[in-house]
Amino acid sequence: MRSGSDKIWLFLALTVLVSACVNREPNLLKAGARGNGPDEFAVLPAKPLQTPVNYSVLPDPTPGGSNITDVKPNADAITALGGYAAVLTRAGIPTSDAGLLNYTRRYGVTPAIRQELADADLAFRRRRGALSFLRLFGNNRYFTAYRAQSLDQYRELERLRAAGIKTPTAPPRTAR
């Protein structure tokens, strides 16, 4: 017969082994709850109804069209700041940006670049987190995986100042 401590160790070993079998994409920062619940920031008050100036010249209803009382927070903010809200519904590339777009396309365009980068990043994080199955408490592996690529801002500030480059002041280092 097994003792109580043997059963606890067996349970912990089985927990670690089962957690290693999980095959899912690691979360980066777990920055929000994912679920089917309502988004409290999407609830906006409705605009007040308006009476038309002339009832005999009412526009025909457009199926799928918009209403003047529909809430459009982005357009309302642009208008309130003195901008032209029609730019939100403008299709295509403005002529003012055509030169910039042509310059960025000078070496060609990879159509699936977002998916390629996402796959490469996932492979990198999986290689860096080879022991990620030992995560018993769901700790975040993002900063551990990218630690070698992070910039020590204070060391860089000291390097620039030693080279004679004028730099702005920085807050003091906090104790780690």
Backbone angles phi, psi at 124, to 5 degrees: -60, -45
Mean pLDDT over residues 88-94, rounded?
Answer: 81
Q: Rounded to an integer, what distance in angstroms lies between the CA atom of residue 137 and that of residue 30? A: 14
Kindly state the tokens that stand for 50: 């308006």
133 CB contacts (<8 Å, ≥6 apart)? 16, 19, 20, 22
Tell me if 90 sits within 8 A of 96, measured CB to CB: no
pLDDT (tens digit, 9 = 90+) per residue, 116-171?
999 998 888 778 765 655 555 656 667 777 888 888 888 999 999 999 998 888 88
Mean pLDDT over residues 101-109, rounded?
Answer: 89
For residue 137, the 8-state DSSP code is: S
pLDDT band at 20 (very low <50, low <70, confident <90, very high): low
Mind spelling out the 3-state secondary structure of 15-35?
Answer: HHHHHHCCCCCCCCCCCCCCC
Mind spelling out the 3-state secondary structure of 41-68?
Answer: HHCCCCCCCCCCCCHHHCCCCCCCCCCC
Mean pLDDT over residues 51-68, rounded?
Answer: 80
Kindly state the tokens that stand for 53: 């100036």
For residue 136, the 8-state DSSP code is: S
Q: Rounded to an integer, what distance in angstroms lies between the CA atom of residue 25 and that of residue 122? A: 7
State residue 120's pLDDT score.
Answer: 92
For the CA atoms of 138, 139, 141, 143, the dihedral, rounded to the nearest 10 degrees, stands at 150
Q: Rounded to an integer, what distance in angstroms lies between the CA atom of residue 92 and that of residue 75? A: 18
For residue 141, the 8-state DSSP code is: -
pLDDT higher at 56 or 66: 56
Range of weakest confidence among 22-26, 31-35, 77-81: 22-26
- With 60 as the cut, is the pLDDT of residue 172 above it? yes
pLDDT (tens digit, 9 = 90+) per residue, 29-55?
555 656 677 777 777 777 788 888 888
